[in-house]
Amino acid sequence: MTLTRTPHSAVRRPPAASVRWGRLSFRCHRRTVQVCAASLAVAALLLAVSLCTGAYAVAPADVARALFFGTGDRLAVHFVNQERLPQALLAVLVGCALGISGSIFQNVSRNPLASPDVIGFNSGAATGAIVAIVFGGGAAAVAVCAVGGGLATAAVVFLLASSGGLHGVRLVLIGLGVTAMLGSVNSYLLTRSTLHNAQNAHVWLIGTLNGRSWSSVQTMAVALAVLLPAAVVLNRQLRMLEMGDELAHGLGVRVTRARLALTLLGVGLCGVAVASAGPVPFVALAAPQIAMMLTRGPVSVLAAGATGAALLSGAHLVSNQAMPLFAELHLVADTQRDGQLPVGVTTGVLGGAYLAWVLFHRRRGRAV
């Protein structure tokens, strides 16, 4: 692998370098690398804090012994290795997948609102997963049905939006309509299931990491190991498509083939994320935009993924601390002090605050 410096152009841009590995070459911007490193460091710090805190507090030294040696207090070993660590790692992996998926769809459609949770892909994946849950399918069936539901929804949305192009307000409006219809389908499926399956599906629909085990982490890790390199390879075409179809075609990009590959990649990422943690809202919408504000340069799926990992890790930590705080404020019963708030509730609140902040700054004419 060789690293060569790219000359500066007349237009001032973030410093960049060309990274070559065999026949593959990538442009690497220094600020993008810094943002990725900082976001991953924040995610790692939040993961470490989440291992220490909770209904059963564990000292950092005991966490280290439980992680590296499996020794110490039995409760500490159980909580750290079997409950908190799988959930914290899953938050990092799911946040990364949602951030990359949101970056793909927002830039393919050239619309900052075209994230998979807004244009219906998460809802389609949720419908497929609910069908598997209602009929008693296992984790593998839920994952397959979630990805299949997301692909089917993507096909419907793109078919309906094809006459008006995949950019502008049309795609978002069609996606919102499909999301509303799928919400009704999901509600009907819940009414036709048993009480136990309906309760499980209802909690899962909110978006939660509670009760997730190492099997979910393994599924998510394998999916990212396959899909993340593909996203890095296709990042150049994604940046070309952001400039428009005609210019991308003039630069040698096969527009239809690139858009199809990126769409399949984005749906696959959001599908496995939904199968692992449910349709967690707002992460796919906010992570790419925050990453672009921080990098101040071209879109990078790696920066969006790292930002998404940090966002969902932070939301997971807040969710773990919410119930004891609510009990102190007498907002919930003391018997619920040891419970965990679904992470989808936290991301929904934080996402609403983020949107309000964006609208406030745009109304004042400030760039965000």
17 forms bridges with which residues in the sheet?
A: 5, 28
Identify which of 270, 262, 264, 274 has the alpha carbon closest to the alpha carbon of residue 299: 262
| Mean pLDDT (whole number) for 75-91 | 90
Predicted local confidence at residue 10, as pLDDT: 35
On the 0-12 / 13-18 / 19+ scale of CB atoms within 10 A, 337 is middle
pLDDT score recorded for residue 367: 46
Q: What are phi and psi of 217, to 5 degrees?
A: -65, -40
User: Would the pLDDT of 8 be above 50?
Assistant: no
pLDDT score for 180: 87
Is 9 among the domain residues? no
The pTM of the full predicted model, rounded to 2 decimals, is 0.85
pLDDT over 90 at 305, yes or no: yes
Asked if the structure places residue 321 within a domain, the reply is no
Question: Residue 187: its pLDDT value, please?
Answer: 86
Residue of 130, 164, 156 whose CA lies nearest to 145: 130
Residue closest to 368 by CA, chosen among 358, 353, 356, 355: 358
High-pLDDT (> 90) share of the chain, %: 18
pLDDT above 80 (res 45): yes
* 368, amino acid identity: V
Residue type, 161: A
The pLDDT, as a whole number, for residue 360 is 75
Does a structural domain hold residue 28?
no
Count helices and strands in the chain by DSSP H and E runs: 15, 3
- The tokens for 4 are 């060569």
Of residues 162 and 77, more confidence is placed in: 77
Six-digit token string for 50: 């989440």
| Ranges 20-24, 130-134, 238-242, 294-298: which has the least confidence | 20-24
**Residue 306 placed within a domain:** no
SS3 18: strand
Please give the pLDDT value at position 337. 56
Highest-confidence range of 174-183, 188-197, 213-222, by mean pLDDT?
A: 213-222
Q: Which domain holds residue 192?
A: 47-299+311-316+346-363
Asked if residue 91 has pLDDT above 80, the reply is yes
* Residue 226, in any domain of the structure: yes
258-279: burial string, b at 16+ Cβ within 10 Å, e else: bbebbbbbbbbbbbbbbbbbbb
Residue 139 three-state SS: helix
**221-269 pLDDT, tens digit each:** 999 999 999 998 888 888 777 766 677 667 677 777 888 888 889 888 9
Does residue 186 form part of some domain? yes
Q: What is the mean pLDDT of residues 106-126?
A: 82
* Number of domains, the chain: 1
Average pLDDT, rounded, for the chain:
80
pLDDT of residue 167: 56
pLDDT band at 3 (very low <50, low <70, confident <90, very high): very low
- Other residues' Cβ atoms within 10 Å of the Cβ of residue 4: 9
Question: What is the chain's percent helix, strand, coil content, to nearest 5?
Answer: 70, 5, 25
**Given phi > 0 = left and psi -120 to 50 = alpha, else beta, which region is 70?**
left
Domain CATH code at residue 260: 1.10.3470.10
- Please give the distance of CA 145 from its chain centroid, rounded to a whole number: 18
Query: d(Cα 155, Cα 50) in Å, to the nearest integer?
Result: 39
Residue 8 lies inside a defined structural domain of this protein: no
Name the range with the highest mean pLDDT among 120-124, 213-217, 250-254, 351-355: 213-217
Q: In this structure, is residue 337 part of a structural domain?
A: no
Report the pLDDT value the prediction gives residue 22, as an integer from 0 to 100: 54
Grouping H, G, I as helix, E, B as strand and the rest as coil, residue 36 is helix
| In the predicted structure, residue 329 carries a pLDDT above the cut 70 | no
Task: State the pLDDT confidence band at 303, using cuts at 50, 70 and 90.
Answer: very high
| Burial of residue 235, with CB atoms counted within 10 A of its CB: 0-12 exposed, 13-18 middle, 19 or more buried | buried
